Amino acid sequence: MSFFNTTSSSTAVGTAPAPDKDIELSDPPTDSISSLAFSPQADYLAVGSWDNNVRIYEVGANGQTQGKAMYAHQGPVLSVCWNKDGTKLLSGGADNAGRMFDVTTGQSQQVAQHEGPIKVVKWIESPQGGILVTGSWDKTLKYWDLRAPNPITSVQLPERCYTLDVAYPLMVVGTAERHIQIFNLTSPTAAFKTMVSPLKWQTRVVSCFPSANGFAVGSVEGRVAIQYVEDKDSSNNFSFKCHRRDQSPTSKDQSLVYAVNDITFHPVHGTFSTCGSDGTINFWDKDARTRLKTFDPAPGPVPATCFNRTGTIFAYAISYDWSKGHSGMTPGHPNKVMLHGCKDDEVKRKPAKR
């Protein structure tokens, strides 16, 4: 499978094999990257950053990248996502506002409002139409019909929303104090199930399987838990350690424990990636319970990752994730987005070992 052969572009490079080196996005944001999202219709990558801006880049067939559009929030942008047909980009940030950018007109407008910073925005494509859901540190979830200024509904969460993911009809919300709420989006106003995270440390990220029967939870303690929603599948639940390093080259104690910053699932194969504050990225197969690929450590923490719609391009950001507080923000810290061409054996499932 070749790398950038997904968009039929007029530039006639055609079937180039996946490059061995990852490609760096040109003109990255000026401050740390908070989130990445590929458009579901084309190879456009949206990048949200702590410099208050959202940028959209076009990723070309032979790996060239070009900035296409940019719009701003009044505070750092914490999350970006596209709607289903790729015409609108939604973003939320620390200015307590959610904005929508229409790519056809190039205009952005505010479409959501919270009492506290909006940490996650996600698009729900329900049979009744498209809805934006926003999760905020004000302990609420709000659903928005983009045409109206008021939310359709607001759902109270037990604590501040840290992370959220949707795979219709499953939605999973991870909050502070390790609560996890599972929603069935056919009745979205109340949680279908509330549980405490199986991981004993602060929840950092939740991500739903594309098959919508379960989700993965990542914590600050270098651990990921795979959870199935149905109780009958709960025997398949398991967790594993990752993103740890040894204290020194000689001792194999794995005692430096880094946070898992993001988990993203491959849209086709159902395998997933994890990335951490230690700067490493891994690809895993949850059914075979094995690791498929380890990336070389990046020069800085990796706060966000994203697969494109076909799973051929994997984007990851390298920027400071505040894991050492303010003092870690050194002036020369790398701040970039890299694109990796996925090879088959990195993302395809392995036959399960029985």
Partner 1 sequence: MQHQKAKHFKCNLCPRRLNTAGGLAVHIQQVHKLEPENLPRIDNALPGRDGYEVEIFGMEGIPAPDVADYKRRKEIELGLNPGSISQPPAKRPKVENRAISEDELKAQLEAHKALMGASDPSNLPASSDASTGGVYGAPPQAYSAPPTVVSPPTVGTPTIPPGAPHFFPPPGYPGALPFPMPPGMQMPMPPGFPPLPPMQGPPPGLMMPPPGLHPFSLPPGMAPPPFPFFPPGMSPPGFPPMTTPTPPVHTPNFVPASNPHAAAPPPSVQSQTGTPTSNIAPPELRLPNPALSQTNTPFKKATELKWSDANFSPEEHRAIHPKYLAPKDITNQSQGANSAQSGGEEFRGKKRARAEDFL
> Pick from 173, 56, 189: which is nearest to 122 by CA?
173
> Which one of 321, 337, 342, 348 is in contact with partner 1 (CB under 8 A)?
321
Does residue 52 touch partner 1 according to CB under 8 A?
A: yes
Nearest distance from residue 245's CB to partner 1, in Å? 10
Nearer to partner 1, 119 or 348 (CB): 119
Does residue 336 touch partner 1 according to CB under 8 A?
A: no
Nearer to partner 1, 170 or 304 (CB): 304
Find the helix or strand (DSSP H, E) in which 347 lies.
helix 344-347
Does residue 257 touch partner 1 according to CB under 8 A?
A: yes
Does residue 256 touch partner 1 according to CB under 8 A?
A: yes
Does residue 235 touch partner 1 according to CB under 8 A?
A: no
Does residue 299 touch partner 1 according to CB under 8 A?
A: no
> Which one of 247, 344, 345, 352 is in contact with partner 1 (CB under 8 A)?
247
Inter-residue contact 67 to 53 (CB < 8 Å):
no
Nearest distance from residue 196's CB to partner 1, in Å? 11
Tell me the window of 123-131, 175-183, 281-289, 333-341 that interacts with partner 1 (CB under 8 A).
175-183
Nearer to partner 1, 92 or 188 (CB): 92
Alpha carbons within 13 angstroms on the beta-carbon side of residue 122 total: 23
Does residue 34 touch partner 1 according to CB under 8 A?
A: yes
> Which one of 162, 265, 284, 314 is in contact with partner 1 (CB under 8 A)?
162
> Pick from 294, 151, 135: which is nearest to 203 by CA?
135
Residue 108, classed as helix, strand or coil, is: strand
Does residue 165 touch partner 1 according to CB under 8 A?
A: no
Per residue, the 3-state secondary structure of 163-198, as one string, reads EEEEECCEEEEEEHHHEEEEEECCCCCCCCEEEECC
Counting residues that bind partner 1 (by CB under 8 A) gives 65
Peptide bond into 334 cis (omega under 30): no
The residue written with tokens 């939320």 in the block is: 92
> Pick from 159, 193, 195: which is nearest to 177 by CA?
159
